[in-house]
């Protein structure tokens, strides 16, 4: 999935994503949501391998945005570029960046806005983001930026702008709204399945003999 086209060599610290033109390789990901995140070096930050432990990232810690890989690639006409920020502090030469590529998120909303990993984007995620308003630099709460010509157009999960502000608040409320709708749809489907089951079990038995 990684590639390095000539057009992005201008960026010295960048990762570039693309899909191979070979359909067989591309299809291995199916329709899954692909996310990419540089992971903090700080050992005190939540462990990505334990998503079941709800814990909101500290708004003051150096955490990194989540990128939606498919949308990055689409946005970059086939090449999605992530500029790698400088390390937040002095590190020894040869220190490695940590990256996480995930394929297990159920939806874009959960990938970008479910900060505590509890399977829903809700008011607690909104509150967590709001406590980070004003944070500049890397932040997991920097989920969006607005189009320079049309402030109503938000880029969510593909173009963080290095600040957590009201644009990110608008974005998290949009994500919460569509995640709520997703869960309501699931609930309605389950309810209607349950109803069908009840109806089918209530059919009056035919009498065997006239
Ligand atoms: Ca959540
Ligand atoms: Ca932002």
Q: Which bound ligand lies closest to the C-alpha atom of 176?
A: 1
Measured in angstroms, how far is the CA atom of residue 22 from the centroid of ligand 2? 35
Distance 173 CA to ligand 1 centre (A): 12
Residue 6 confidence (pLDDT): 45
Question: What value does the mean pLDDT of the chain take?
Answer: 83
Phi, psi of 144 (to 5 degrees): -160, 165
CA distance 13 to 35: 19
Of the two residues 209 and 65, the one the predictor is more confident about is 65
Would you kindly state where each structural domain of the chain is located, as residue ranges? Answer: 6-200
Averaged over 184-193, what is the pLDDT?
87
Please state whether 78 falls in left (phi above 0), alpha (psi between -120 and 50) or beta: left
In terms of Cα–Cα distance, which of 86, 84, 87, 82 is closest to 35? 82
**Residue 196: is its pLDDT beyond 50?**
yes
pLDDT tens by residue, 64-101: 899 999 999 999 999 999 988 776 667 777 777 788 99
For residue 116, which ligand has an atom nearest its CA?
A: 1
Of residues 183 and 53, which shows the higher confidence score? 183
Rounded CA gap, 106 and 20, in Å? 23
Cα–ligand 2 centroid distance for 167 (angstroms) = 6
Give the pLDDT confidence score for residue 169 in this predicted structure: 98
Distance (angstroms) between ligand 2 centre and the Cα of 158 equals 10
Give which of 129, 127, 121 is closest to 175, Cα–Cα. 121
Helix axes 123-131, 166-201, angle to 10 degrees: 170
Please report the pLDDT score of residue 88 as a whole number.
Answer: 62
Q: What spacing in Å lies between the alpha carbon of 206 and ligand 2's midpoint?
A: 65
The better pLDDT of the pair 122, 42 is held by 122
Higher pLDDT, 55 or 199: 55
Contact 64, 37 (CB under 8 A): yes
């Amino acid at each position: 999935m990684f590639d390095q086209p000539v057009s992005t060599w201008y960026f010295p610290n960048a990762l570039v994503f693309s899909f191979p033109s070979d359909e067989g390789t591309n299809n291995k990901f199916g329709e899954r949501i692909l996310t990419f995140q540089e992971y903090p070096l700080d050992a005190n930050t939540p462990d990505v391998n334990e998503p079941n432990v709800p814990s909101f990232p500290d708004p003051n810690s150096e955490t990194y945005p989540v990128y939606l890989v498919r949308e990055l690639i689409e946005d970059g006409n086939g090449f999605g570029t992530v500029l790698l920020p400088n390390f937040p502090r002095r590190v020894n030469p040869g220190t490695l960046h940590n990256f996480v590529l995930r394929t297990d998120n159920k939806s874009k909303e959960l990938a970008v806005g479910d900060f505590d990993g509890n399977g829903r984007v809700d008011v607690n995620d909104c509150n967590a983001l709001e406590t980070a308003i004003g944070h500049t630099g890397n932040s997991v709460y920097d989920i969006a930026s607005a189009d320079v010509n049309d402030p109503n157009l938000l880029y969510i999960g593909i173009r963080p702008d290095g600040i957590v502000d009201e644009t990110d608040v608008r974005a998290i409320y949009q994500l919460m709204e569509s995640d709520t709708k997703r869960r309501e749809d699931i609930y309605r489907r389950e309810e209607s399945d349950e109803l069908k089951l009840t109806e089918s079990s209530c059919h009056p038995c035919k009498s065997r003999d006239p």
